Each structure stands twice: as C-alpha cells, then as structure tokens.
Amino acid sequence: MTEASSWTGELSPDLDQLMAFDAMRAFLEAYWERGSKSDDELAILLGSLNRSGAFGGPLDPAMWQDWKDAVAKVRQAGGDAAHDPLV
C-alpha cells in the first residue's frame, strides 16, 4: 500500500454522481447523529438534501446543481488521495 492510499483503503471508482451524492448524505447524517443531532444547520441541510422531492430529487432542487458544481470543481482540480483538491 502506498502512502497516499494508506488512509483511503481501496477506493470505488464506479460511483456515479447520484451514488456519490447519496454517500455524502449518509456521511453527513452519520456525523449529525454522532453529535446527538444537536446541529440545527446540519439538520436543515440534510432536510434539503433529502431525495423525496419530485422524481426522487432533493427537496431543495438547487442542491443538485450545487452538487454538480462541486463535482466539477473537484474534477477540474484533479485531486487524488495525496492531494486535497479543495486546498
């Protein structure tokens, strides 16, 4: 295992944008639950990200565009396990 992958383990390159969106939601929800559900702003964000909106989309439709913009930003930066694309 290389240094860069020592903390990531094996990555799954087959996630599409929707699966990655749902993984991000699951991550944030677990974080919120570990914090005893005490962060109201995170609760509001999770509610906005909830995919019970029209056609299975987020309740706040702008969240999907924000997600796509974030994916494009990370792809453009070209980060990998050894480089944080947001720094």
Nearest CA to 50 out of 26, 84, 74 is that of: 26
Please write the tens of the pLDDT for every residue from 10-41. Answer: 767 788 889 999 999 999 999 999 988 888 99
CA 21 to chain centre: 5
* Tokens 């974080």, residue located: 31
Q: What's this model's pTM, rounded to 2 decimal places?
A: 0.75
pLDDT digits (tens, 9 = 90+) for 39-56: 899 999 999 999 998 899
Q: Please state, in angstroms and rounded to a whole number, the distance separating the CA atoms of residues 76 and 59.
A: 28
Q: How confident is the model at residue 1 (pLDDT cuts 50, 70, 90)?
A: very low
Locate all alpha helices (DSSP H) within 2-83, ordered by sequence: 17-34, 40-49, 62-77
CA 9 to each of CA 1, 6, 18, 22, 69: distance values in angstroms, whole numbers, following the listed order: 8, 6, 22, 20, 26
2 or 13: which carries more pLDDT confidence?
A: 13
